[in-house]
Every structure is written in structure tokens, then in C-alpha cells.
Chains A and B, each alone.
Chain A
Amino acid sequence: MAPSDYQLLDRYAAGDDSAFEELVTRHQKTVYDLAHRMLENHADAADMAQKTFVQVFLHHRSFKRESSFRTWVYQICLNQCRNALRDRARLAHHEDVEGLALAAPHDTFTQVAGSELKDRLGQAIRTLPARQREALVLRVYHDHAFADIGVIMSCSEGTAKANYHHAVDKLRRVLMAGEG
């Protein structure tokens, strides 16, 4: 029987290096997937997944084990993604101000290329408010229970549900508008 995350963490704390690799290997794909869905490119997602695990092992002693290890790792990853998105938004704003003339052709191209349903859906997900997007990603792609999503997003279960429902409703309207 495979050891639990808690057991692996105990072994790592006791100096067992193999536990480190086992923990990373066990969770690397889900962490990378979450980061990719939030940041939308491989380089940033890989960087974010790495940062997440580094934080996990640097601060593993402060983990109070009130939630599952997986939930805690998700929390760290989501926080890092939020920071990265904030930085990106700040940078984008700065570049927009500096290069307004260059922005228009790119936007036009995106609109034309976005005529495909998948692109439209992807675009709709991108434009969801951050909290709704987080709830959607955690629920749809990572099958978390709403109680867990609440813990990861630092909100109540009800708020997590509401965010998710709003997200789905918005996407439904986008798709219906496109098909109609």
C-alpha cells in the first residue's frame, strides 16, 4: 500500500530524500495543470509549479495538517498564480499605456481567429473574473468538492459554489450567443 502524503512528509522531515521525490512526482501533474489553466502557457506554468513545490518544502513544518496535503499544495499554487496574474496585469497595463498603437492589430487578429467555438470558449474562460475562474478550474478539471474549493480559495463553501455557478452561467450565455 502506498504511503499517505502525511507519511511521506514525515519521512522527508526526518531526512528521507526519496520521500521528496515521491511527493513531487505524485502531485506534479495536477499542480502543473492548475498553473497552466491559470497562466495559459507552458513556461509560466512550469515555473509556477516549481515555485509551488519549493514553497511547500521550505515551509512544510508550518503545515498544520488541518486539510489534506493536496489542498494545501493547491492553496500555495493558487496564491502564487494570483500574484503572477497581478504582476502580469500591471505589466500589461504599463505596456498598453506605452504602446496603444500596437495593440489594435493584435486585438483584431484575435477576434478573427476566435471565431472557432473552442477559441470562443477559451476566451470566455480567460475573461471570467479571477474567483469564478478559480472555482471553475478547481471543480471541472480537478474534481474538488466545494468544501475543499472553499478552503483553497479562502472563502466559504457557499461562496465557492456561487462563483462556480456564475462562471458556468456566463460560459453558457457566451456559447448560446455564438450559436444563436
Chain B
Amino acid sequence: MTCNEIKELTVPYLELDLEPSRIRDITTHLEGCAGCRAEMEAVRQVLVRVRGMAVPDPGDQFWREFPHRVRRELERLQSTATTLGGPSRYQWFWGRAVTAKWTLSLAASLLLVVGAWSLKGLLDRGTGPPEQSVVQGPNAADLPSLGDGVWEAFWEDDPDMVLVEMATQLDRQTMDRLFADI
């Protein structure tokens, strides 16, 4: 074994946390290597000194009273929980619902439904009947068609409506001609 390998295994060696054959190999190496022996001794010293650092004992009285201290705190918490009352059915249901894994499944299902709804709306819009023109005033049927020669009678009452109707008529005529060509 090399010195570097020994260095890596110093702690497990001291802890006897190695295969017996490895421990034998390291022991053999240490017998002939002063550097590794010194390194090993340094680590052993660390462990001895660290182990020697004791926690001050709080005393017998503390230990005698400690279980009672725990009990008092436990009882206090339990009585607080009882005083506040158990969860209502509503709280119980939502407590379960929030913590249950199916909350995520529910959210995913809702998203799917909303998505499907939106998609349906889009498809309907694409294949449904053409939208009606907004410029279909209630007076449109009463107005003369283009070229009637009588539209002047309406001009004085509502020139805007006449203009709109004329534009609509023109548009219809153009569309009819176009479709006829096709």
C-alpha cells in the first residue's frame, strides 16, 4: 500500500471499520513507515481529545424533574388541542382534501375540462355560420335599394342611415358578382 492510500484510510483504520485483510496491510505498512505512523498518531490524538470533551452534567435534580417537565408540556399541548376542539367536518374534509394526493389529480382534471371547453369554442367559431353584420339597423328594410330613385325622401330624415345602407347594398352587389364569377 502507498502512503497516500494509508492517509485515506486512517480514520476507518482507527475505527476498525475495514476488512481484516486491509487492517493487516495497513499495520504492516505502519511498521515500516515513520511518516504514516506519525499521521496515524495525530488522528488518534484528535479522536481522544474530541472524545474527552464532556458535556457538563446538569445535576440529579434536573434529571429527576425532567420527565415531569416533559409530561406537563405534553399535557398542556394535548389540553390545548382538546379545548380548541377537534376539527369540524368541513375542516376535516378540507384537511384531507389538501393533504391528499388526489388534489393534484383534481387540479389536472379541471385544467383538462377548461382546455377542452376552450378548444370546442375555437372549433365552433371556425365551422359555424358566418357572423351577422353589425351594420344591420332596424330601418334597413324600410330603406330603398340602390337605384330606386326614392332614397332622397329618406335623406332628409336620416342621411347617415342612407349612406350606410348604400354602402351595404354596394357591398352585397360586389359580393354577388364575385360569387357569380366563381
A residues near B71, Cβ cutoff 8 Å? 20-21
9 closest Cβ contacts across the A-B interface?
A: A24-B67, A53-B70, A36-B55, A172-B46, A21-B67, A165-B11, A171-B46, A168-B11, A54-B74
A46 within 8 Å of B (CB atoms): yes
**Chain A interface residue number, banded:** 35 or more
| Interface-facing stretch out of B25-33, B58-66, B120-128, B166-174 | B58-66
Q: Which residues of B contact A (CB under 8 A)?
A: 11-12, 15, 17, 42-43, 45-47, 49-51, 53, 55-56, 58, 62-63, 66-67, 69-71, 73-74, 77-78
Say how far A102's CB is from chain B's closest CB, in angstroms: 28
B residues near A29, Cβ cutoff 8 Å? 63
B residues near A139, Cβ cutoff 8 Å? 15
User: Among B47, B66, B67, B77, which residue has its beta carbon within 8 angstroms of that of A140?
Assistant: B47
User: Among B45, B66, B74, B78, which residue has its beta carbon within 8 angstroms of that of A28?
Assistant: B66
A residues near B12, Cβ cutoff 8 Å? 161, 165
A residues near B73, Cβ cutoff 8 Å? 50, 54
**Contact between chains at B55 and A168 (CB < 8 Å):** no
A61 within 8 Å of B (CB atoms): no
**Contact between chains at B66 and A33 (CB < 8 Å):** no
| Interface-facing stretch out of A66-74, A88-96, A115-123 | A115-123
B residues near A42, Cβ cutoff 8 Å? 56, 58
- The distance in angstroms between the C-alpha atoms of A148 and B27, with both chains bound, is 28
B residues near A24, Cβ cutoff 8 Å? 66-67, 70
B residues near A146, Cβ cutoff 8 Å? 17
**Contact between chains at A136 and B50 (CB < 8 Å):** yes
Q: Which of A32, A33, A125 gathers the greatest number of chain B CB atoms within 10 Å? A: A32
**Contact between chains at A50 and B42 (CB < 8 Å):** no
The 0/1 profile, CB within 8 Å of B marked 1, for residues 139-162 of chain A is 111000010000000000000010
**Contact between chains at B49 and A121 (CB < 8 Å):** yes
A residues near B78, Cβ cutoff 8 Å? 58
Q: Enumerate 9 A-B pairs (CB-CB under 8 Å) in ascending A order.
A: A32-B55, A46-B66, A54-B74, A58-B77, A125-B53, A136-B50, A165-B11, A168-B50, A169-B11
Say how far B11's CB is from chain A's closest CB, in angstroms: 5
**Contact between chains at A168 and B47 (CB < 8 Å):** yes
B residues near A117, Cβ cutoff 8 Å? 49
**Contact between chains at A175 and B47 (CB < 8 Å):** no
B residues near A176, Cβ cutoff 8 Å? 42
B residues near A172, Cβ cutoff 8 Å? 42-43, 46
Closest A residue, CB atoms, query B67: A24
**Contact between chains at A175 and B74 (CB < 8 Å):** no
Say how far B15's CB is from chain A's closest CB, in angstroms: 8
B residues near A125, Cβ cutoff 8 Å? 50, 53
B residues near A21, Cβ cutoff 8 Å? 67, 71
Say how far B177's CB is from chain A's closest CB, in angstroms: 80
Say how far B74's CB is from chain A's closest CB, in angstroms: 5
User: Among A25, A33, A118, which residue has its beta carbon within 8 angstroms of that of B67?
Assistant: A25
- The distance in angstroms between the C-alpha atoms of A125 and B89, with both chains bound, is 51
- The distance in angstroms between the C-alpha atoms of A29 and B62, with both chains bound, is 11
Q: A46-B58, A164-B11, A172-B46 are in contact. Are A121 and B53 (CB under 8 A)?
A: yes
**Contact between chains at B62 and A46 (CB < 8 Å):** yes
**Contact between chains at A140 and B50 (CB < 8 Å):** yes
A residues near B15, Cβ cutoff 8 Å? 139
Q: Which of A49, A136, A165 gathers the greatest number of chain B CB atoms within 10 Å? A: A165
